[in-house]
Structures are given as structure tokens and as C-alpha cells.
Structure 1
Amino acid sequence: MPSYDREPERAWDEYDWERFLQQQDQKTEKYMELLEKYIDDPQRDEIIAREMGWSQLLDDKGWGAEVDALVNEDWRSSDESSSDEEQRRTPPPETFEYHNLYRAAFALTIWIDQLFDEDSMLQNEPAAVKLATHSALASAKLAAALSDDDVDEIGMTIAYLKRALKAITVSMDAAAQLLCEKLITAAQHSVLQKRLFQVRDGIISLMGEYRGEWRSRFGSR
């Protein structure tokens, strides 16, 4: 797969970002495989850097020391920190945690956790595990989508929303399977389905808004 370097002359659309994210997924999978393989090797970092093609890290002999220095740095320096009174006066930033869609997705994961608490046997059921993991994945992708308010990164936001939509769709299939196998009651499925549809419809609506914003700024391609 070719490397997708940023092109300064134009903004990336959702398809550019999707290809880029797929490439990053492959790199992440390779890194995790290498980390698991060499976790106990004293030369782990150097081996992984070589296997990943991170030549700049291999060339820089002092990179490990620099990382250690950053970790040990006293970040509580009085010159850089604000007083407690100033912090109390500063309102909290408007981050993704305050977005209604993310809050709905997060509430869904909490509800599923409670479902598992009520019936611990669900933790051993593949459909239940799929429901929980993909609902959590949808929440994580929404956090990524809503974390960047840069208008030039609308394509990236849409790409992450598409991934959140895919994850929530898998969760909906898993919920239907749980009902079919009579692992949850009809009443539980009704509540679960309502929460899943709330998140799904919210994602679709938000994707439409961002796509409209993209067309108004950059036109169609």
C-alpha cells in the first residue's frame, strides 16, 4: 500500500483519510505483534524500531535517554503551573465528552456493563463479547471524530464517524443474536435496541452535516 503523505495543496476528503487510517491500522497491528514477540528482549525497542522501519530512531543513539528525561521531568514547576484559584476560575474546555452523541454512546457502554453484572454468564458468550467490544469501539471512534474541531480536517472526522457507524452496526447484529439465542429477554433487547438506534441515527445525522459542510467549503470531487 502506498504511503499517504499530506498534500499541502488540498484538504483530504473522507476517502483519503480512510485509506490513511487503514494504513495506520496495519502499522499498529504489526507493532503489537512485534511488541508481543519481543516483550522480554533487552533490545526490544531497537528490534521493533528496525522491523518497523523507524530508521530515525536507530540513527539517533540518544533517543532512549531523551524519552527517559521527559518521563522524569518535573512537570509541576511553579513557573509553568497556574494557581489553584486561577484553575477554579477557568471554565472546562468544550471537549468531546460534552457532545450529546458521545454521551449517548458512553451511556450505552455503561448499560451493557450493567447487563453483564446482572448475568455474569454473558461474559463467556461470543455474541455478548462482540456487543460489548464493538460498542466500546464505537465510543472510541466517536471520541476521535469529535476531538478535532479543525475545519480543514472534516474529512478525517467523517472517516472516524464511518468507523463508529460500522462498529455500532456490528453491535446491533450482536444484540439481535443474543435475543435469538434467548440470552437476553425481549424487554432487555428493546432497551438495548433503542440505545443502539439512538447512537446509530446520531452518527448518520452528524455525517450528513459534516458532508454538507465539506461540499460547501470544497465542492464535490
Structure 2
Amino acid sequence: MAWRIEEHVIRGEIDNRVRGRVVGKVWLSGVGQPLILDLKGDCHPDLAGCLLGFENPRATPMPAGPPATRQRGTVGDMTAARKVRVYDVPLSEALAMIKSGGKPPEHMANSLYLEWFSALSGRVVIESADYRLQVSEPAWCFSAEEWAERERLTAEAANPFANSFDQDANEEQEPWDEFRFEQLLRESDLAGEKYRKLMEEYMDHPDRDRIIAHEMGWEGLEEGGDGDEKTLEDDVMADGDDEGDDEDWSFGDRNVHPVAQRARDLLDAWLVDHGEDDGEEEKPGVELMEALMSLRVKVDTHLGFVVEEDRSMEAGMLIAWLKRDLEIANRALAAVELLNDHPAFSVERLSHYRSELFAIREGVLGVIADLREGDGRW
């Protein structure tokens, strides 16, 4: 999961003219101060060594302020050459055509894709094929060998679990920090997404499991089984994704963290006000209800480790998860703003949902701060 802000961007600049460092500013509609970026790493070859300027001709106001205006962390993928499909008709018309069984006209285009990881905001993404771009001449460039080596290391990192535990078990290792756990979660998301796409492509192929094992880099499975009827699908489903069950442990009867209780109460209030989902996809408030349900489960699970003082879970992993919970809270706040002018939602109730979500977000930030004080140990 990511905090996606492309629709709220007014303009921005990304500067990678110093090798190994990306700095910049991003101005958001409705936010007084720009985001200040100070990141370790480099852009992809098309932007490496360059100063990039970008402008969004159709920025919309941000419903809630960013978790932090100063973005310190690491570079993810930053490129202006990501290939995407773009509709040749307005989005509303394209969706209507799809709904009626048609196929809207489209073409391939380059898309700007800016991704980074910061301490307070987690994974942040700006992605758009509609921005106006201006790119300077590069101050430096990757050599072919340098980029090939970076691609090799990235490919190796795509199987994080095997790479993490292939080392000698007796070897002294540095404890993981929150950023390394965030990267682990992201790599797990990417691996899960790759697996799902392969399953769709090879679902009915007689040699499906062997092909998928090869594509995923699972050497032990690629050679075939020993008669066990268990399939790759059984093995992989535990990997999960950013909306999955990878961290949903049951705590049974236990104390509930005050922030988690607040999330429970907020969902209960919503259900009292509007009832449960009846399966109507276009029912107003569906996005908010889904976000509230997800937030309730996630913070209850993650803060359960805190309230029970269960130190079997490392602080860095808890922080990485809680950052994702902040993204859900931000998504819920954005969904609240979409209901401002809807007759089914009173100003008073929307104000209540909004204030409770802000309180939950502040509570999660407070827990993150407490966990950080222990320097990765708690």
C-alpha cells in the first residue's frame, strides 16, 4: 500500500544531479508548505543526474494534511519512462464503455513514476501520464555496467525471504530497522502481485507449477515435487499483499489498545448510522466503509502486540505496519471529504468521522514515536 498524492500535486521538482542523493520539493493543493524531499539513492537512467520539473494541470485540494512535510528516507523507483495504457476518451466515458461491455480506445504512453520511502509517511507514490515535464541535461550518467549491477541486485531482492535467511545462522547480524522491514513488505507485495499475474496467465497450462516456479525463482520447486499433491498456490497464499492477511494473528481474549478501541467504536458508529454493506457497488460511502473496516482490523492486530507487550515482534516491523495503517487512515479521510455535499450524510456526522480519524492517526503516530525511542528495541 502507498500514500498516492498525484491528483493533489500542483507542481514539483526532483534533483538527482548529485550522485547518490535526491532532493526536491512538491507543492500540494490545499497545503501551505511544500513537501521537502531529502532522499538517499538515485533515479532510473532517464532521470539520473537530471533536474526534473513537473506540473499538474488539474490539481485537486488535499482533504487532509500530510503526515510530515519533511520527507527523509530512501529512493524507490523514479522514472519518466514507465509505459502505461492511456484512454483516448474521458475517464467517465471510458468507464461507461467498459460497463456496457465495450472497449474504449487507448494508446501506450510514458508515465511519470516517483516513489520514495520516508520515516513518517511510509511509501509515497506520484504517478501520472498527464503532467507537463521539463528535464535538464544530465550532470552524470550510469554506465551500462553500473545499471546492470543495480538491476541484478534488485532482481535478487525480489525473493526477500530466501535471501534474508540463506546466510549462516551463526553469523552476527545487525538488527533490522523500520526501513528494511518496509522494503521487505514492499518486496512481498511485488512478489505476490507477480505470482497472481502468472497464475492468471498460466492457470490452465498443464505445466503451470513448473513455469511459475521458474519465473518466481523458486529453484527447489522448479524441479518438480515428490508426489505431494500440494500446489504452488497452497504455498504462496501465505505471502499476502498490502490488503491481505499476512499479519492477521488472533489474540483471543486480551486487552485492547485505546487507539484500536477508537477504531472499533468508529466502525460501530458507521454501522449504526448507515448499516452494513448490502453488495451495492455504487452505494454512497462504500469507500469510507471499506477503509474503516480495514483500519479497525489492522490497528487492532498491530497494536495488540503493544498492549500485550509481546516482544516476539520486532519494533521495526511494528513501525512498518503502523505506517501502512496511517495510509489507510489517510484514505478514509479522503473518502470523508468526498461525502461533503451528499444529502445522506450530515455535516455533524461527517465532522465526527473526520475528528475520530485524525485522533486515530495521531494515536498511531504517538505509538510509532514511542517505539522509535527504544532504537528498535522495546
Please, what TM-score do these two structures have when normalized by structure 2?
0.43
Q: Counterpart of 1:55?
A: 219
Return the offset for 1:115: 4.3
Q: Do the aligned partners of residues 41 and 103 (structure 1) sit closer, same or farther apart at CA in structure 2, a change above 3 Å counting? A: farther
Q: Does 2:371 correspond to 1:210?
A: yes
Q: Do the aligned partners of residues 51 and 57 (structure 1) sit closer, same or farther apart at CA in structure 2, a change above 3 Å counting? A: same
Query: Secondary structure at 2:212's aligned position in 1?
Result: helix
Return the offset for 1:134: 2.7
Aligned residues: 193
Q: Do the aligned partners of residues 132 and 118 (structure 1) sit closer, same or farther apart at CA in structure 2, a change above 3 Å counting? A: closer
The whole-number CA distance in structure 2 between the counterparts of 1:102 and 1:116 is 21
Return the offset for 1:57: 1.7
Return the offset for 1:27: 1.1
Q: Counterpart of 2:329?
A: 168
Return the offset for 1:93: 5.7
- Quote the sequence identity (%): 27
List per-residue Cα deviations over 1:112-137 (Å, max 9, x = no partner).
34444389698415x72332333333
The answer for unaligned runs of 5 or more in structure 1 is: 71-91
Q: Do the aligned partners of residues 105 and 28 (structure 1) sit closer, same or farther apart at CA in structure 2, a change above 3 Å counting? A: farther
Q: Counterpart of 2:292?
A: 135
The whole-number CA distance in structure 2 between the counterparts of 1:11 and 1:38 is 39
Q: Do the aligned partners of residues 34 and 15 (structure 1) sit closer, same or farther apart at CA in structure 2, a change above 3 Å counting? A: same
* Residue pair 2:210, 2:224 contacting (<8 A) in 1 also: no
Q: Does 2:187 correspond to 1:29?
A: no
Q: Do the aligned partners of residues 21 and 118 (structure 1) sit closer, same or farther apart at CA in structure 2, a change above 3 Å counting? A: closer
* Residue pair 1:138, 1:163 contacting (<8 A) in 2 also: no
Q: Which of 357, 364, 369 in structure 2 is aligned with 1:196?
A: 357
List per-residue Cα deviations over 1:70-104 (Å, max 9, x = no partner).
9xxxxxxxxxxxxxxxxxxxxx9677773333333
Q: Does 2:262 correspond to 1:101?
A: no
Q: Does 2:282 correspond to 1:124?
A: yes
For residues 9-88 of structure 1, the aligned pairs below 5 Å read: 9-41=173-205, 43-62=207-226, 64-65=228-229
Return the offset for 1:175: 0.4
Q: Do the aligned partners of residues 211 and 12 (structure 1) sit closer, same or farther apart at CA in structure 2, a change above 3 Å counting? A: same
The whole-number CA distance in structure 2 between the counterparts of 1:144 and 1:31 is 26
Structure whose residues are more often strand by fraction: 2
The whole-number CA distance in structure 2 between the counterparts of 1:58 and 1:199 is 46
Return the offset for 1:142: 2.5
The whole-number CA distance in structure 1 between the counterparts of 2:194 and 2:340 is 36
* Residue pair 1:165, 1:200 contacting (<8 A) in 2 also: yes
Structure whose residues are more often helix by fraction: 1
The answer for unaligned runs of 5 or more in structure 2 is: 1-153, 235-249
How much is the aligned-residue C-alpha RMSD, in angstroms? 3.6
List per-residue Cα deviations over 1:30-87 (Å, max 9, x = no partner).
22223334445554444433332222222251274367xx9xxxxxxxxxxxxxxxxx
The residue type paired with residue 222 of structure 2 is L
The whole-number CA distance in structure 2 between the counterparts of 1:210 and 1:110 is 29
Q: Counterpart of 1:82?
A: none
The residue type paired with residue 13 of structure 1 is D
Q: Which of 284, 305, 311 in structure 2 is aligned with 1:150?
A: 311
Q: Do the aligned partners of residues 47 and 140 (structure 1) sit closer, same or farther apart at CA in structure 2, a change above 3 Å counting? A: farther
Return the offset for 1:18: 1.1
Q: Counterpart of 1:74?
A: none
The whole-number CA distance in structure 1 between the counterparts of 2:254 and 2:303 is 5
Of structures 1 and 2, the one with the larger relative CO (CA 8 A, separation 6+) is: 1
Between 40-49 and 158-167, the greater mean CA deviation after superposition: 40-49
Between 53-62 and 203-212, the greater mean CA deviation after superposition: 53-62
Please, what TM-score do these two structures have when normalized by structure 1?
0.68
* Residue pair 1:96, 1:146 contacting (<8 A) in 2 also: no
